[in-house]
């Protein structure tokens, strides 16, 4: 994909002023990149996901699998049906979609089940957790013929869900901390303002010991890398907190996550010296998060080892990984895109009837009795 010419900066001026204000109010006149990214994407009035929902789709900045065809949603619906079968078809089965975009995937899943598996459709309670009020409004309009409910995390009780939490291209949009190796030390990359009012990066001590603990969790020794000086990447601490929340809410069932990403050993590879952070504007990719602020998407790939490790610590057990291109063998474009599946509760091992071949011809499966 060709990068656009970064000659016209169409940043949201109101958002930029808010970020400058946040920087000026901080004790050291700097904020973490995670805080910057959170403001850029999720500020309630001016963030990228708070603006017009055309950001997603053919007329927007990026596409997700449901925009290509109904195959993706229909195959997921079959997977959910299999989960219900494994649970011996209970009268209540909850699907919780986290970050539902425009509601297209929900529409595909519910429409397919209503037409082909009415018995399962009638048992489903479909919940959506959505941070963007603009997207939530579009979801409600699109799904008004279905009995869908919208919840905040604090409205879902501890150990209250039997069913499946799932997401599609959610975790890659979580805010990440950026770091760099300087003088054989992990230093965090912060955002500050220069004399011209531009946002610039500076380095300082890490903002939280959780960053160092993260690398112990995924068993990566960055300082052992050859020519490590100047190595940069990201840490997604928000993803760890997210896994803790899912396990807390889930009584019995599954967590299914579809996103771009790698296992830790590939993510933090010595040859990938600048991390995975990418920006998308009108279907073009660039690597400048300080251009078109509030108008372009910012993402970072997912470290699936971190999800697996934190899930295990939180009471989930990993069931399998596969490439989405293999999951969707019915002709969707294969992409470097992975599915992460874990489970909780006394359930049988899931038979991957719609997962034909795993990444590198191997499916990792386990379950909790």
The fold of the 1-369 domain, in CATH, is Rossmann fold (3.40.50)
Find the mean pLDDT for residues 164-192. 96
Q: Of the given ranges (55-59, 148-152, 257-261, 359-363), which has the lowest mean pLDDT?
A: 359-363
**pLDDT of the residue at 240:** 97
- Per-residue pLDDT, 318: 87
- Where do the H-state alpha helices sit in 204-301? 210-217, 237-249, 264-267
The per-residue pLDDT of the chain, averaged, comes to 85
Q: How confident is the model at residue 2 (pLDDT cuts 50, 70, 90)?
A: very low
Statement: residue 60 has pLDDT above 60: no
Where do we find the tokens 């790698």? 262
pLDDT at 364 over 80: no
pLDDT at 327: 58
Q: What is the pLDDT of residue 231?
A: 98
The answer to which of 41-55, 187-201, 211-225, 329-343 has the lowest mean pLDDT is: 329-343
Neighbouring residues of 324: CB distance < 8 A, sequence distance ≥ 6? 65, 258, 332, 334, 335, 337, 338, 339
Domain boundaries, the chain: 1-369
Q: pLDDT: is 8 or 92 the higher one?
A: 92
Query: Residue 243's pLDDT band (boundaries 50, 70, 90)?
Result: very high
| Average confidence (pLDDT) over 177-182 | 98
pLDDT band at 153 (very low <50, low <70, confident <90, very high): very high
Query: Averaged over 264-283, what is the pLDDT?
Result: 92
**pLDDT over threshold 60, residue 174:** yes
| b/e code 122-132 from CB counts within 10 Å (16+ = b) | ebbebbbbbbb
- Residue 282's pLDDT band, with cuts at 50, 70 and 90, is confident
- CB proximity list for 136: less than 8 A, separation 6 or greater: 128, 130, 150
What pLDDT sits at residue 276? 96
Q: Which of 186, 346, 338 is nearest to 252 (CA)?
A: 346
Percent of the chain with pLDDT over 90: 69
**pTM value?**
0.86
Of residues 331 and 115, which shows the higher confidence score?
115
pLDDT digits (tens, 9 = 90+) for 217-238: 999 999 999 999 999 999 999 9
């Amino acid at each position: 994909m060709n990068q656009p010419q970064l000659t016209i900066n169409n940043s949201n001026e109101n958002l930029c002023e808010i970020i400058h204000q946040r920087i000026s109010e901080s004790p050291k006149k700097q904020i973490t990149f995670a805080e910057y990214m959170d403001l850029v994407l999720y500020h309630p009035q001016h963030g990228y996901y708070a603006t017009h929902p055309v950001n997603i789709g053919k007329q927007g900045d990026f596409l997700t699998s449901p925009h290509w065809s109904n195959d993706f949603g229909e195959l997921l619906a079959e997977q959910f049906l299999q989960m219900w079968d494994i649970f011996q078809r209970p009268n209540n089965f909850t699907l919780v979609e986290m970050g539902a975009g425009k509601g297209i995937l929900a529409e595909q899943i519910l429409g397919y089940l209503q037409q082909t598996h009415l018995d399962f459709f009638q048992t489903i309670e479909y919940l959506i957790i959505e941070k963007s009020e603009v997207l939530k409004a579009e979801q409600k309009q699109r799904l008004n013929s279905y009995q869908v409910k919208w919840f905040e995390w604090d409205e879902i009780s501890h150990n209250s869900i039997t069913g499946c939490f799932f997401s599609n291209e959610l975790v890659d949009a979580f805010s990440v901390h950026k770091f760099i190796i300087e003088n054989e030390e992990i230093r965090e990359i912060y955002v500050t303002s220069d004399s011209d009012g531009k946002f610039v990066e500076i380095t300082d001590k890490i903002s939280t010991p959780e960053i160092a603990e993260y690398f112990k969790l995924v068993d990566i020794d960055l300082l052992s890398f050859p020519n490590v000086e100047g190595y940069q990447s990201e840490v997604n601490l928000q993803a760890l907190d997210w896994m803790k929340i899912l396990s807390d809410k889930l009584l019995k069932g599954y967590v299914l996550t579809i996103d771009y990403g790698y296992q830790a050993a590939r993510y933090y590879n010595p040859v990938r010296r600048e991390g995975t952070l990418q920006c998308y504007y009108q279907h073009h990719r660039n690597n400048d998060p300080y251009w078109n602020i509030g108008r372009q998407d910012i993402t970072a790939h997912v470290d699936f080892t971190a999800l697996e490790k934190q899930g295990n610590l939180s009471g989930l057990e990993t069931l399998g990984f596969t490439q989405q291109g293999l999951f969707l063998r019915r002709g969707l474009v294969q992409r470097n895109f992975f599915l992460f599946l874990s489970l909780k509760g006394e359930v049988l091992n899931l038979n991957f009837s719609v997962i034909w071949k795993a990444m590198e011809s191997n499916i990792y499966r386990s379950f909790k009795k």
